[in-house]
Amino acid sequence: MNLRQLDISRRTIAVAAALIGTVSLVIGAHAALNMRALDAAKAVSTDQVTGSIGQTSRLALVIGNGHYPDASAPLTQSINDARALSSSLRKSGFDVDMVEDATKDDMVRAVNRLKSRIKRDTVVMLFFGGFGVQAGRESYMLPVDAVIWKESDVRRQGVSIEGVLDMMKQQGAKAKLVVVDASRRNPYERRFRSYSHGLAPISAPDNALILSSASPGKVVDDGKGEHSVLVGEFLNNLNAQGSAESVFNKTRVAISRASEGDQVPTVSSSLLEDVQFNEAGG
């Protein structure tokens, strides 16, 4: 090898070494950036988890069914009630899933969504406004696409309130709140009963609070206002805040007095602890 060839070889080696060094630096910098990105992601995740520790989650499923094809006129109050209640509950810190004019599939999907989100520290609320029918010892919420000609159809077409409560219990909800505004004369019962039976007593499982618009077996007529009597009074007390049991009981007393005993809502409680509606007190 002559001197010229030796000189070229040395330059080639030097260039190659410089290239290798540059690539190593780029790889090292890229790895460092990746590590910083991972660390940042971990920090964000940790902050989110830490922020949720000690905070009670609040979930609400609000169903307002108003347009039943079998009814002579729509239940406009049910839709208004669902919208107004959803707004108030959101202000009270609830994450609300609102469904209007729900079919059976809509209601089942909504209940399943609720089920998937309930945790051990969750306060869960269910509201239903629409037509309800009792079958056996259970009360059923009726979807707008219900096809009912006999009592057995109620069990197939409706969604059991007791079934939803049992789901909440099985999922370990901290507290279960239910408001049912469905004690109405409906176009279905007259097909297999001589008169509307209202709703069956809804038994409260552990740590539950239930408000129904009328006494078991009774029905009430809708007023002419924007909201039903039950929801209108419930919203007044809810906006004033306070414990859930206080809101439910004040609503019951106010309606009973205003109607001079013609409409007496039912409150069933098995609460084991104080549940506040406003988030700060929860």
pLDDT at 56: 58
pLDDT at 187: 93
Predicted TM-score (pTM) of this structure:
0.79
Write the pLDDT tens digit of every residue in 253-262: 999 999 999 9
pLDDT at 19: 45
Going by C-alpha positions, the residue among 195, 170, 101 that lies closest to residue 141 is 101
Write the pLDDT tens digit of every residue in 216-245: 999 998 878 899 999 999 999 998 878 999
Write the pLDDT tens digit of every residue in 81-109: 999 999 999 999 999 999 999 999 999 99
Q: Which range (45-54, 72-81, 133-142, 197-206) has the least confidence?
A: 45-54
pLDDT band (50, 70, 90) for residue 180: very high
Q: Which range (4-13, 58-67, 243-252) has the least confidence?
A: 4-13
Write the pLDDT tens digit of every residue in 194-222: 888 899 999 888 999 999 999 999 999 88
